[in-house]
Structure 1
Amino acid sequence: MAQVLEFKLPDLGEGLTEAEIVRWLVEVGDVVAIDQPVVEVETAKAMVEVPCPYGGVVTARFGEEGSELPVGAPLLTVAVGATDASSAAPGDDGAAAEEPSGGSGSGSGNVLVGYGTGAPAARRRRIRPERNTASAAPAAPAVVSAPSRPAPVAVGEVNGRQGPVAVVSPLVRRLARQHEIDLRGLTGSGPDGLILRADVDSAIRQAGQATEAATRTAARPEARTAAEPVAAETSTIQVGAATQATAERIPLRGVRGAVADKLSRSRSEIPDATCWVDADATELMAARAAMNAASGPSGGPKVSVLALLARICTAALARYPELNSTVDTAAREIVRLPGVHLGFAAQTERGLVVPVVRDAHTRNAESIGAEIARLTELARTGKLSPAQLTGGTFTLNNYGVFGVDGSTPIINHPEAAMLGVGRIMPKPWVHHGELAVRQVVQLSLTFDHRVCDGGTAGGFLRYVADCVEQPAVLLRTL
């Protein structure tokens, strides 16, 4: 006899509490192997494939593509331990589960994203059960699960009968409350009448259309008598309702939501200050050109300006370790970190992300450049893992690529500082006592005033500017 095991959305780590279903990789009736990816989800940090810890036949899926699920919500159910086509079924019809080799149906337990056993996935096979309309359907197998599904939101009359409101996701309940949608009046489009986010979104649109139609009707002259006074207050409410109906609302979720939360937390918790300086980058650009020319046509990848600035940052942090730290607010302690994990801001189609170059303090400019190029390509294709987007100790933000000269960076919480770099462009500059056209860049440092004072921050920024203006200064630390 088969058992039906429920697989819930696992804890994806790094404080992530929800994920959006991007693409299902299996269908109901498919045979899956232990640790086979079954769904592709998008978190606030990355696009990842979720492996299932059970081997067997998929009997149900929960959530449509494009919907959000909280951690702990059911993803799918798998019939495990079936030996023939009549022992387990999607929807109680009897579908057999092929037991993966070496598996007993207990699952691998490796439900964290990216931490499967790596066993080859079995070829998916759709099993179509035979239906016997002359006899009663077999009893549904018992569902074996860890904690049960979240409690329904309310109990009341649903479509003419008493019972619980079929809502699993707390996100759906919250959305309904925000827009004053009565869930007891909705018919769910999910399995067993489950109310999905799409159902609530549809109800919100219908309510908006009804409000707009009522506003148009009330505004027509024939809708009221000539003797009926029209108060200015009523007109104001009608105009406001019409405006609200046409306003576009964009949910703060995914990458955009994560960025909003982190920046808000940074500004609310960190007493930041910013200092900046203009630097003559002419010699740095000349040194970069000489490095790349010396490597020759086939001498390896070119060294980028960002790689040189990153190497300068690691040298500056060695001199001013106060800025490579974080603050433990609970213990009221400054924690100076032993190594530099350098984050760099990268703009992608999914939004702003900050990949991290691990152990940047042990790398030279060429190694840092190669790692930046690798991580940037992963960011553009949406293949960065959460581990590659976390753990930074200092961030370098090159906003000059957007054609702007300066900015006041917001610290990437819980770090203590961020260096911003504007565009490098020809400007009038006094060089050796004479006016000349030089390649000038503005450098901005935002720092946590709890970890250091202005003297330390100014010393760090001045050292970076000196290395930009005279790259030979950097040779002292190499």
Structure 2
Amino acid sequence: MAQVLEFRLPDLGEGLTEAEIVRWLVDVGDVVAIDQPVVEVETAKAMVEVPCPYAGVVTQRFGDEGAELPVGAPLLTVAVGATEPVPGGSAEGAGTAASQEAESSGNVLVGYGTGAPAARRRRVRPPALTGGRSAPTGDARTASGGGPVASAPGPVPGGTSGASTAGHEPVWDSAVESPAPDAPRGTPAQGDVVLEAVPPAHQGPVAVISPLVRRLARDNGVDLRALRGSGPDGLVLRVDVEHAVRARAGAAEQHIAAQPPVPATEPAPAIGAARGPATGERIPLRGVRGAVADKLSRSRREIPDATCWVDADATELMAARRAMNAAGGPKISLLALLARICTAALTRHPELNSTVDLETREIVRLPGIHLGFAAQTDRGLVVPVVRDAQDRPAESLTEEFARLTDKARQGSLTPADLTGGTFTLNNYGVFGVDGSTPIINHPEAAMLGVGRIVPKPWVHEGQLAVRQVVQLSLTFDHRVCDGGTAGGFLRYVADCVEQPAVLLRTL
């Protein structure tokens, strides 16, 4: 008899907590093999394909294309050992997955393929809640072999996502602290702003939420213990916090509107005052674009940045590149030459290849140069990373830039391709602009910007001549160095652009 196993959205790695279903690669009734990709999802980092660790027949899918699912939500169920579709696709009555080791490749990490089964996580049962909700019952602990117990999907009590399963035991976070209420909950006084009815705040742990949700709740003064989570098993999601903030704002507006009219003796509101939410097209900030927005906002909040810039005569650099490509062999890109100059400059000024550890109040100088470069795609700005760029010659850098750029255009970059950078090179000259003051790619300490290379009047060897001129800008974290270090770095880069022979000192 076939055994029905449930495959949930796996740990996405890199701190990711949710993903959007872009395209299903299998239908109900399809036969899948171990590690066969079954769904394409877009995370906050990239577009990736999720492989299924089970072999069998797909009996049920959860979530339509375009739906966002948190980590741990069911993706599909597979009838292991079956060669034909299982009627109904239900997992009820299925036994435990004691033979999973023979049927599965282990846990799945999006973007990295499959690996060995992960260590069992400490789980805490949630305390009973009042107000119509009770703690989940049943036992969905892993079997002795480390595999999940097959369970039937079912709705979350009081939730709206429909992405939970009956008997699933959630992971609860006891580290989330919430201030105790100043006064007992009771009948509100006249004029008080009242939110929708929610169960009383409990004193136990809160369902695991992402750091983004914690920060959003803290910044807006939302008590997480008073929220009714819409995720699996009461998991508090970002939309729950945003809904609470909007509800409170709407209640406040209604309270203000109910006040007596302003006497005629008081001044009238200024023209152009706020008149409620703006109307027009609304584009959700999610996926790659949402992640970029969050990261740039964090960079602006945390990094005291400064920018310096200089014009450089790139005529000799362009001539050197033409000579290299005329000699035969693989072509060398201009970006690769600029990257080679960057790595040489960072070797001389390691302060800019560092990061700031706020918890320990230390500057951490990094041993390797993992060079990121900005790439514009249809889904937004991404920054692929070239590992150990200091050890690569210009030819190898050219090949790696081309490979990562192709993956970015196809939307197939993995989280490993997009994380771990220590310095970013931003060639905004491809957009036809001369200069920019870019935002540092947090948690890095600096970014070099390169404008377009165009013919301009230039004094060369005491004579006015038309030369190929480029503007270089360096945005740096003022906590890691002062202007003298940043100026020395930028001046060395400009000297190498004007006289490529200067690089011979570091080769």
TM-score interval, smaller chain: 0.7 to 0.9
Is 2:271 the counterpart of 1:266? no
Q: 1:94 to 1:6 in 2, by over 3 A?
A: closer
1:15 positional shift: 1.5
**Contact 1:73/1:149 (CA < 8 Å) preserved in 2?**
no
Residue in structure 1 matching 2:476, options 433, 447, 471: 447
Which residue is equivalent to 1:425? 454
Which residue is equivalent to 2:288? 255
Which residue is equivalent to 1:283? 316
Is 2:141 the counterpart of 1:144? no
**Contact 2:31/2:83 (CA < 8 Å) preserved in 1?**
no
Report the TM-score when normalising by structure 1: 0.72
**Contact 2:90/2:152 (CA < 8 Å) preserved in 1?**
no
Give the distance between the partners of 1:368 and 1:4, measured in 2 at CA. 48
Which residue is equivalent to 1:107? 104
Secondary structure at the aligned position of 2:63 is classed as coil
Give the distance between the partners of 2:150 and 2:8, measured in 1 at CA. 9
**Contact 1:74/1:149 (CA < 8 Å) preserved in 2?**
no
Give the distance between the partners of 2:93 and 2:157, measured in 1 at CA. 29
Which residue is equivalent to 1:15? 15
Secondary structure at the aligned position of 1:38 is classed as strand
**Contact 1:344/1:395 (CA < 8 Å) preserved in 2?**
yes
Which residue is equivalent to 2:34? 34
Give the distance between the partners of 1:473 and 1:36, measured in 2 at CA. 52
Which residue is equivalent to 1:217? none
1:439 positional shift: 0.9
Identity %: 77
2:505 maps to a residue whose letter is R
**Contact 1:79/1:89 (CA < 8 Å) preserved in 2?**
no
Q: 1:309 to 1:21 in 2, by over 3 A?
A: same
Give the distance between the partners of 2:19 and 2:25, measured in 1 at CA. 16
Which residue is equivalent to 2:185? none
Give the distance between the partners of 1:149 and 1:474, measured in 2 at CA. 65
1:144 maps to a residue whose letter is V
**Contact 2:44/2:290 (CA < 8 Å) preserved in 1?**
yes
Which residue is equivalent to 1:45? 45
Aligned residues: 383
Secondary structure at the aligned position of 2:23 is classed as strand
Which residue is equivalent to 2:354? 325
**Contact 2:112/2:414 (CA < 8 Å) preserved in 1?**
no
Secondary structure at the aligned position of 2:404 is classed as helix
**Bigger mean CA offset, 338-347 vs 3-12:** 3-12
Which residue is equivalent to 2:64? 64
State the Cα RMSD in Å: 3.5
Give the distance between the partners of 1:281 and 1:116, measured in 2 at CA. 44
2:108 maps to a residue whose letter is V
1:352 positional shift: 0.9
Residue in structure 2 matching 1:460, options 489, 494, 502: 489
Which residue is equivalent to 1:436? 465
Residue in structure 2 matching 1:89, options 84, 87, 105: 87
| Structure 2: tracts of 5 or more residues without a match | 116-139, 141-147, 161-227, 248-267
Secondary structure at the aligned position of 2:440 is classed as coil
1:37 maps to a residue whose letter is P
Secondary structure at the aligned position of 2:327 is classed as helix
2:87 maps to a residue whose letter is A
2:325 maps to a residue whose letter is N
| Structure 1: tracts of 5 or more residues without a match | 119-141, 156-163, 181-232
1:262 maps to a residue whose letter is K
Deviations 1:404-448 (CA, angstroms, capped at 9, x unpaired)? 000011111111110000011111111112221111111000111
Secondary structure at the aligned position of 2:439 is classed as coil
**Contact 1:314/1:360 (CA < 8 Å) preserved in 2?**
yes
Deviations 1:235-274 (CA, angstroms, capped at 9, x unpaired)? x99x957x84x51111111111011011111111111111
Q: Return the structure number with greater helix share.
A: 1
Give the distance between the partners of 2:466 and 2:76, measured in 1 at CA. 65
Matches for 1:134-213 after TM superposition, within 5 Å: 144=149, 151-153=156-158, 168=232, 170=237, 173=240
Is 2:427 the counterpart of 1:382? no
1:147 positional shift: 13
The structure with the larger Rg is 1
1:50 positional shift: 0.6
Q: 1:17 to 1:92 in 2, by over 3 A?
A: closer
**Contact 1:55/1:103 (CA < 8 Å) preserved in 2?**
no
